[in-house]
Amino acid sequence: MGYTLLLNLIYLIQIMVSYSKIGRNFKRRSVDDYIDYVDSENLPPISLIVPARNEQENIVDNIHALLKLDYPEFELIVVNDGSTDQTHEKIVNAFELHKIEYTIKVSLPTKPIRGVYHNPEYPNLIYVEKDNGGKSDALNAGINMSVYPLFVCLDADSRLERDSVLKLATEFIKDSKTVVAGGLVRIANGSVIRDGEWRSFKIPDKAVEKFQIIEYFRAFLAGRVSWGLTNSLLIVSGAFGVFRKQTVIDCGGYKTNTVGEDMEIVVNIHENMRKAKQKYRVVFCEDAVCWTQGPMSLKDLRTQRRRWQIGLLDSLLQHKKMILNPSYGMVGMLSVPYSWLFEVFGAPIEVLGYFIIPLSLFLGELSLYYFFLYFILAVSLGIIISLGGLILEQKIHFGRMTAKQCRQLANYAFLENFGYRQCITLFRVEGMLKYRKLRRTWGIIKRKEFDR
């Protein structure tokens, strides 16, 4: 019970800190001239790297949408990581690409590249076909291929808003110490996506998708905003993040021996930059939005959450020397111990509680009265945190969600604590128990073509 109280108290503090920060950011954005940068030559040119494996449903639409981005100078590098479906054929045919002779600066080792394709009618687009090596390997290949100082890592099913990249790139202008900038990922399930572009938000039909929407608000808007303030953010979503290319190369690129490459690269950057005693910033910009498809079934959700937990454990184990190590500053003293205590051990402690408390009740150690009292208290705390996430969303994103949609989701913020959160906890524990077995496995998650 004490553990639950402490965890929820920390979440509450994060929500309050985030609320204040988001409010200040909102005022700052009202005077921001980032939109003037659209035509500016001073914006750093950027490489968009899209690793893709078996993405035949959405890949062509996504490429079309990305080519329309509001950004003065960029290149789009699509890396086909040994797809076994029609991904390759669809891309080549849709854009009439031809195989070309290429030169590539190999800064990071990768699996062999089978070919590079290009069509001068799409001068920004480079398509790379390579042997399967995993998402990290595909990203490294994209980095090798890129010629610009910044790169964006994107998922093949991500849908960026037109000015999302612009908003993140201006973080690198406003402060030259910025090395990583993460954006907000939102669940696109149910939303209207037309011509590969997100148009309007709609609540999906399935409960599992609705719960994920609330969960993402909580995780991103409460957690990441507050960690970003202390420059100890340990993860930037693999679906949408901007990196300074040379920093990533200096850290050895994305590690291919993990399924949590998004967390691993950021923790690695923290470690390397602090070791080298270089000033740097890892920021989170809640206004730069990327829409992505969440798992549509409990089975797919289980695969995803198991993998996330394995990735988390992997990254923390690989950097275990950072725990409570003052030479790593706030990262070592605060966010890494927090991740161990609450993100890693939180799930098994909670699951233990599922057994111990009913057992205590059964053995007469705990009275029925206290059982219900603590149960309602635990659930109430969970509801407070879930509603907090929704409040933060409404604070920043006016117009994306109507009041009616917000009311509907608020009901699910209540219901989330009666089954969904418990399932997620069990999936996370499963991930930890199967850590050794599934350490290198991504699993298959069913994708749906976005509604047009």
Partner 1 sequence: MTSLWKEDFCVIIELTRETVALIALVICLFFILFQYIFLLSLSHKQDARKKRREEASNTINEYLESIIFAPTEFAKDSVIDALAGYVGEDKLKMGILSSRAVELLLSDDTDDRQKAALVKVLEKANPMQFYKKMLHNGNRYEKAYACRKVAFFYEEDEIPYIRKLAKSKNRILAYNAAMALSVFGDEESVADIICGFENNYHYSFRIIHELLDVYSGDISSLGRRILENCGDYIRATVIKKLADYKLDEFEDIYIKGLLSNNVNLKIACVQALGKIGKPEYEHQLITAAHDKNWVVRSTAVKQLKYNTDRTKEALVKATSDPEWWVRFNAAKTLVGIDTELKYVEKVLQGYDRYGADAVKYMLYRKYSLS
Residues contributing to the site for partner 1 (CB under 8 A): 27-28, 30-31, 33, 40-44, 98-103, 105, 118-121, 123, 147, 172-177, 370, 373-374, 376-377, 380-381, 383-384, 387-388, 390-391, 394-395, 398-399, 401-403, 406-407, 410
Length of the chain: 452
Least distance from partner 1 to the Cβ atom of residue 410, Å: 6
Identity of the residue, 301 or 401, whose beta carbon is nearer to partner 1 in the bound complex: 401
The residues pairing with 81 across neighbouring beta strands, listed in sequence order, are 130
Within 217-260, residue ranges assigned H as helices are 225-229, 245-250
- The tokens describing 210, both together, are 């609705």
Residue 358 structure tokens: 């009913």
| Residue whose CB is less far from partner 1, 180 or 301 | 180
Q: How far is the CB of 411 from partner 1 (least distance, A)?
A: 10
E strands, 329-443, are none
The nearer residue to partner 1, 319 or 397, going by C-beta atoms, is 397
The DSSP 8-state label assigned to residue 201 in this structure reads -
CB of 27 to partner 1, least distance (A): 4
**In the complex with partner 1, which residue's Cβ is closer, 31 or 363?**
31
Would you say 234 or 283 has its CB closer to partner 1?
Answer: 283
* Smallest separation, CB 407 to partner 1 (Å): 7
377 class by beta-carbon count within 10 Å (0-12 exposed, 13-18 middle, 19+ buried): middle
Residue with tokens 């599992």: 208
Residue with token string 């929820």: 8
Kindly state the smallest distance separating residue 87's Cβ from partner 1, in Å: 21
- Record the tokens describing residue 114, joined without a space: 């089978």
Residue with Cβ nearer partner 1 (229 or 334): 229
The residue among 42 and 84 lying less far from partner 1, judged by its C-beta, is 42
Find the angle CA(415)-CA(15)-CA(28) to the nearest 5 degrees. 130
Strand runs labelled E in 191-327: 192-194, 197-200, 240-244, 281-292
CA–CA distance, 77 with 126 (Å, rounded to integer): 5
> What beta strand segments (E) does 111-189 contain?
113-118, 125-130, 150-154, 159-160, 178-187
The 10 Å Cβ neighbour count of residue 123 is 9
Q: In what order do the strands lie in the sheet with 159-160?
A: 98-100, 113-118, 125-130, 74-81, 46-52, 150-154, 240-244, 178-187, 281-292, 159-160
Nearer to partner 1, 248 or 438 (CB): 248
Residue 432 CB, shortest distance to partner 1, in Å, is 30
Count CB neighbours of 285 within 10 A.
21
Comparison of 174 and 440: residue with beta carbon closer to partner 1: 174
Q: Which two tokens stand for residue 209?
A: 């998708």
- Which one, 99 or 320, has the nearer CB to partner 1? 99
Helix/strand/coil percent split, the chain, to 5:
55, 15, 30
Give the nearest distance from C-beta 45 to partner 1 in angstroms.
12
Contact 347, 432 (CB under 8 A): yes
Contact 141, 110 (CB under 8 A): yes
Compute the least distance from the CB of residue 93 to partner 1, in Å. Answer: 14
* Spatial distance between the Cα atoms of 179 and 118, rounded to a whole number of angstroms: 30
- Output the smallest distance, CB 137 to partner 1, in A: 20
Residue 169: half-sphere exposure toward Cβ, Cα within 13 Å: 32
Closer residue to partner 1 (CB): 149 or 337:
149
CB of 344 to partner 1, least distance (A): 27
Q: How far is the CB of 383 from partner 1 (least distance, A)?
A: 5
